[in-house]
A and B are shown apart, each in its own frame.
Chain A
Amino acid sequence: KAGVTQTPRYLIKTRGQQVTLSCSPISGHRSVSWYQQTPGQGLQFLFEYFSETQRNKGNFPGRFSGRQFSNSRSEMNVSTLELGDSALYLCASSLTTSGGASNEQFFGPGTRLTVL
C-alpha cells in the first residue's frame, strides 16, 4: 500500500507570493490533516478535512486555507507569504477520527517551504 505523498518536496518563494501544496493520502483514508513544523515549536495543527469538509481548524490566520477533493486528496494554500511561513509542512492521513486506532495518523515526508 502506498504511503502518504506530498508534492512538491521543496519550494522557494518570495514574500507576498502564494503557494499551493498537495497531499495524497493512503488509499482508503478519508481524513487528512495538515501541520506546520518550525524549530522548537513541534507540530502545530493547521486544519483537518474529512469527506471534503473542514472538521477542525487550528489557530492560524486566514491566509492559510485548504480543501479536500472527492478522492480524499487535499491541497493547502498560503497566500501573501511572510518570512515566518518558512517551515516544514506535513500532511497526515487517517482512516477517520472516530477514536482509538482509527485516529492513528500516517505522515508524508513533508514540503519544505522557504520564503525569501
Chain B
Amino acid sequence: DQQVKQNSPSLSVQEGRISILNCDYTNSMFDYFLWYKKYPAEGPTFLISISSIKDKNEDGRFTVFLNKSAKHLSLHIVPSQPGDSAVYFCAASAINTPLVFGKGTRLSVIA
C-alpha cells in the first residue's frame, strides 16, 4: 500500500520554464510534508517543507503547494535551471512515525 505516490517517473523541462512536480498521499494523519532532491551517488538533501496548517510555502525559486482536501501537493521550480536536474522525492510524516517517501520523479532541465 503506497501511502505517498509520485505518478510521474520523469519530467523534462526547458531551462527558464516552470517545473511542476506532483505528489499524492492517502493517509489523512500526515501533517508535515517535505521535498528532497537527490543527485547520483549522493544522499537526498532537504529542499523545502510545508506544515498541514499552511497551503503554500516559498523559498526562492521553490514553492510547495498543499491541497489537503485533494490530498495533493506540488513543487514548483521557477525558473528551472540545468543544475536542478535530479531526482525529487516527496515525503510525508505524522507524529511518532518515520517519513514515508514516494518513488521519486527524475527532472531533466534542458538548456
Interface of A toward B, CB cutoff 8 Å:
4, 33, 35, 40-43, 45, 48, 55-56, 90, 92, 97-101, 103-110, 112
Which B65-111 residues have a C-beta within 8 angstroms of A?
89, 91, 93-104
Chain B contact residues: over half helix, strand or loop, or mixed? loop
CA A86 to CA B97, docked complex, whole Å: 27
* B residues less than 8 Å from A55 (CB atoms): 96, 98
Flag if A43 contacts B93 (CB, 8 Å).
Answer: no
CA A59 to CA B45, docked complex, whole Å: 24
* A residues less than 8 Å from B98 (CB atoms): 33, 45, 48, 55-56, 97
CA A56 to CA B97, docked complex, whole Å: 7
Q: Any chain A CB within 8 A of the CB of B43?
A: yes
* A residues less than 8 Å from B100 (CB atoms): 45
* A residues less than 8 Å from B89 (CB atoms): 42-43
